[in-house]
A and B are shown apart, each in its own frame.
Chain A
Amino acid sequence: KAGVTQTPRYLIKTRGQQVTLSCSPISGHRSVSWYQQTPGQGLQFLFEYFSETQRNKGNFPGRFSGRQFSNSRSEMNVSTLELGDSALYLCASSFAGSPLHFGNGTRLTVT
């Protein structure tokens, strides 16, 4: 069974740009969650999608958004990038919320 796939693995953007990250969950998993990981804050919850609906949202500004498609694949978008958005963005899928199966992340660097 293929694991969670995140693309791209690495991304370099400049301040003010926007970025879209992609996540393909494990086959059969309908829940997809997104996390931001930084050395100072650890893993912070962004949002969770289930059957194309956002079920839960963390405490991040509206510049961070996401969506889920009918095949459970998910995308996360960050607009008007700031230096502080540099982080490892992790996607996790699950069958019914728990346990979480993580991808290897997208390393975003904002210059």
Chain B
Amino acid sequence: TQLLEQSPQFLSIQEGENLTVYCNSSSVFSSLQWYRQEPGEGPVLLVTVVTGGEVKKLKRLTFQFGDARKDSSLHITAAQPGDTGLYLCAGEGTGNQFYFGTGTSLTVIP
């Protein structure tokens, strides 16, 4: 059973387009993290959001944590080929256990 559902599962867009990835759950998390994973490598942390309603910006990436701390979104403005990768959200439960979403595979075509 996946506690975190991500959508879309696959996304292929042209360079310069905008996109939004969603991470939804029926569970409440103390924090939520977004990671990016490239082929042959482990996931790398992009951001951690902790407070309901929190919005964080990282250059062209905007992350939002839902008011109820059950869902989150990642918006990328003017996507570039370097943004290509697998985007994973992860909710922190009790006991330092993290629950990962199934991921969104993003391909940005030059």
Does A98 lie within 8 Å of B92, measured CB to CB?
Answer: yes
Report if A75 contacts B (CB, 8 A): no
How extensive is the interface on chain B, given as a class?
Answer: 20 to 34
Does A48 lie within 8 Å of B42, measured CB to CB?
Answer: no
Does B97 lie within 8 Å of A105, measured CB to CB?
Answer: no
What are the residues of chain A within 8 A of B42 when measuring CB–CB?
4, 90, 92, 102-105
Does B44 lie within 8 Å of A99, measured CB to CB?
Answer: no
What are the residues of chain A within 8 A of B40 when measuring CB–CB?
104
What are the residues of chain A within 8 A of B97 when measuring CB–CB?
45, 48, 56, 58
**Which chain A residue has the least Cβ–Cβ distance from B101?**
A42
Does A42 lie within 8 Å of B102, measured CB to CB?
Answer: yes
- Contacts A90-B43, A102-B42: A45 and B95 contacting too (C-beta < 8 A)? no
Name the residue in A43, A50, A101, A103 with the highest tally of chain B Cβ atoms < 10 Å from its Cβ. Answer: A43
A62 to B52, CA, bound (A): 37
Counting residue pairs across A and B whose Cβ atoms lie within 8 Å, the total is 61
What string of 1s and 0s marks CB contacts (under 8 Å) between A20-51 and chain B?
00000000000101010000011111001010
A35 to B88, CA, bound (A): 14
What string of 1s and 0s marks CB contacts (under 8 Å) between B21-32 and chain A?
000000000010
- Contacts A42-B101, A42-B102: A97 and B41 contacting too (C-beta < 8 A)? no
Q: Smallest Cβ distance from A86 to chain B, in angstroms?
A: 16
Q: Top 4 A-B pairs ranked by shortest CB distance?
A: A102-B42, A97-B96, A43-B100, A42-B102
8 CB < 8 A contacts A-B? A45-B100, A48-B95, A56-B96, A58-B97, A98-B92, A98-B96, A101-B45, A104-B41
Interface residues, chain A, with chain B CB atoms under 8 Å away: 4, 31, 33, 35, 41-45, 48, 50, 55-56, 58, 90, 92, 94, 97-105
Other A-B pairs, 10, CB within 8 Å; known A45-B100, A56-B95, A100-B45 = A35-B100, A42-B2, A42-B100, A42-B101, A43-B88, A94-B96, A98-B33, A98-B96, A100-B43, A103-B42
